[in-house]
Structure 1
Amino acid sequence: MKTANVSALDASPLERIFDNVEPHTNLLELPAGEGVSEHEHPDRSIVFYVLEGEIRLRVGDETETLHAGAIAQFDGNQSIAPKAETDSRALLILSPDAD
């Protein structure tokens, strides 16, 4: 078993929590106004859980503002671009597509 204390991690802005294991589990930490450039995670299914703050998440043609406690699931083959509205932290789980 592997464990981690998410509140003790410093993502700056992204940190993989457990190395070399599937699914990939990452912590994203963004100050207000900062974001991640548009990108994709081909052949992955993504769960995006906002731990703290407020993040505007664009996935493909959809945009939604997620507040702490909100969770989203989407296909990584689409373009993704999160941007923090307030200082924010999110947990991302990227699992291989079942295909």
Structure 2
Amino acid sequence: MHERRRQTSITMVERATLDELESATKYPVFTDNPRTVRVDLDPGETVEEHDHPGTDIVFHVLEGAMELRLDDERYDLSGGDILQFDGERTVAGEADESTTVVVVLAQRPE
């Protein structure tokens, strides 16, 4: 007869609704790892060139359209598009219209 083992770990769940967040250009949703940020861009607004060393990034366009540049590559993104990339890459962008994105930045284990 096999003995059943009972798991005793507890997983904490955090929940946020993006629609309830204040309207801001950049608004943190979750600040721990992985850090999650909602970014609202006006038409023509730019995201200056930058990087996030030591992280993996998920970039999800909720609505709108924009051009995202990763190093020398260009991506035309619209609502529903999701990219995953290494934070070592240089990222920049420009909104073609009012655009909302959610960015998840996960620190890599050492």
Q: Is TM (by shorter chain) over 0.5?
A: yes
Aligned to 1:81: 92
TM-score by length of 1: 0.91
Provide structure 2 residue ranges, at least 5 long, that are not aligned to the other structure: 1-12
| 1:31–1:86 CA contact under 8 A, matched in 2 | yes
Amino acid at match of 2:61: V
Provide structure 1 residue ranges, at least 5 long, that are not aligned to the other structure: none
Aligned to 1:43: 54
The answer to whether the aligner puts 1:18 opposite 2:30 as a matched pair is: yes
Q: Deviations over 1:65-96 (max 9, x none)?
A: 11100000111111100211110000110111
**What secondary structure is seen at the aligned counterpart in 2 of 1:7?**
helix
Aligned to 1:5: 17
Change (3 A) 1:44 1:11: farther
Provide the alpha-carbon RMSD of the alignment: 1.3
**What secondary structure is seen at the aligned counterpart in 2 of 1:17?**
strand
Identity value in percent: 35
**What displacement does 1:6 show?**
0.4
Aligned to 1:69: 80
Task: Report runs of 4+ in structure 1 exceeding 2 Å deviation.
Answer: none
The 2-side partners of 1:47 and 1:28 are apart by 13
The 1-side partners of 2:48 and 2:23 are apart by 16
TM-score by length of 2: 0.83
Q: Deviations over 1:42-71 (max 9, x none)?
A: 111100000010011001110111110000
Please identify, of 10-19 and 42-51, the stretch whose mean Cα deviation from structure 2 is larger.
Answer: 10-19
Matched residue pairs, number?
A: 98
Aligned to 2:66: 55
The 2-side partners of 1:34 and 1:54 are apart by 12
| 1:11–1:28 CA contact under 8 A, matched in 2 | no
The 2-side partners of 1:96 and 1:31 are apart by 29
